[in-house]
Amino acid sequence: MYIPTWLIIIAIIAFWFYSSRKKTGNTNASEIPSSVENAEKYVSLLKKQIFELEHFDSPHFVDYQNAFDAMEINYLRLKQRFSNEPDKVLGIARDWCKYAEALNELKFARTILDVDMSDEAFDNFEESSKEPSIIKDEVEKKFKSLLGTDWLELPPDYFKRMKTMKEPDKEYRQKVGIGNDWWAYYQDSPNLFKLIEKREKVNKEWKEKQEKEKQEKEKQEKEKAKALGKTENSIRSKFWKWLIQDSKDKNNSSKN
């Protein structure tokens, strides 16, 4: 299969960008939080990455955001429940850090999968998502055992939704466009609509920027044409003045 050179270049740049961000943005959570406050600050940084737009939209990104929102409630409940046991609260906060970091790494793995054009793309994805998936599951089990009946269940993920929900019909697919039919499974998720709003805002800003650049270019071209016209008129005027003067000089010369 022929792959355009420009697509390969974009894939390489995207792969380098996300790899660089992972190296500089992620740190071992267990080594960072010396206090609950530090743990929560670290989670805030991870949350920005979990909820930020990528170069494409994915139901799995919404899953990670939904999981974060639910687990944040569970974390806050546990923090309050064991508020008289500082050491236990710190341990819970560290687990919360590991959980947010795991979600971020899972999102990163999905993003890399989209730009990894090698034959080992899915193997690489499975390998990179193996540990964060286990961490995610184990922290959820721990929080659930501690909360008991107060545990807030996580919304179903994409695969569960596909198994239990009705597939979007042809009319819906035409309405939302190719590649967005998975939206039908997430009509109960505020994070889907937040994602759509963010994407629309980015697209609107990009179009406005393109239009502004187009208008500025047209303005510059008009100014150049105007300046060129003035130059041409000036040259033409000087030429005619010279021609008239030369004719006068020749007439005067012939009279003499």
pLDDT for 235 beyond 80: no
Pair 244, 143 in one domain? no
Domain membership of residue 164 (yes or no) is: no
Do 117 and 3 meet the contact criterion of CB atoms below 8 Å apart? yes
Q: Going by C-beta distance under 8 Å and a sequence separation of 6 or more, which residues neighbour residue 33?
A: 39, 42, 90, 93, 94, 97
- First and final CA of the chain: distance in angstroms? 87
Pair 200, 129 in one domain? no
In this prediction, residues 75-96 reach a mean pLDDT of 97
Residue of 206 and 142 predicted with greater confidence: 142
pLDDT at position 238: 67
pLDDT at position 241: 67
Residue 2: pLDDT band (50, 70, 90) is very low
Domain membership of residue 214 (yes or no) is: yes
Alpha helices in the chain (DSSP H): 5-25, 36-51, 59-81, 86-115, 121-147, 158-164, 170-176, 190-255
pLDDT for 81 beyond 60: yes
pLDDT tens for residues 24-38?
A: 444 454 466 789 999
Where in the sequence is the domain holding 60, given as residue range(s)?
Answer: 5-155
Pair 195, 150 in one domain? no
Do 136 and 102 meet the contact criterion of CB atoms below 8 Å apart? yes
Pair 18, 118 in one domain? yes
pLDDT for 175 beyond 50: yes
Q: Can you tell me the distance from the alpha carbon of 192 to that of 173, in angstroms, rounded to the nearest whole number?
A: 16
The torsion angles phi and psi of 169, rounded to 5 degrees, stand at -80, 175
pLDDT tens for residues 110-166?
A: 999 999 989 999 999 999 999 999 999 999 999 999 999 999 999 999 999 999 999
Task: Record the tokens describing residue 135, joined without a space.
Answer: 């961490």
Pair 17, 135 in one domain? yes
pLDDT tens for residues 91-106?
A: 999 999 999 999 999 9
Domain membership of residue 174 (yes or no) is: no
Q: Give the number of other CB atoms < 10 A from CB of residue 190.
A: 12
Domain membership of residue 243 (yes or no) is: yes
The domain tally of the chain equals 2
Pair 130, 209 in one domain? no
Q: Can you tell me the distance from the alpha carbon of 59 to that of 125, in angstroms, rounded to the nearest whole number?
A: 16
pLDDT at position 192: 97
Pair 106, 18 in one domain? yes
Domain membership of residue 185 (yes or no) is: no
Question: Pick from 110, 131, 155: which residue ends a domain?
Answer: 155
Pair 112, 212 in one domain? no
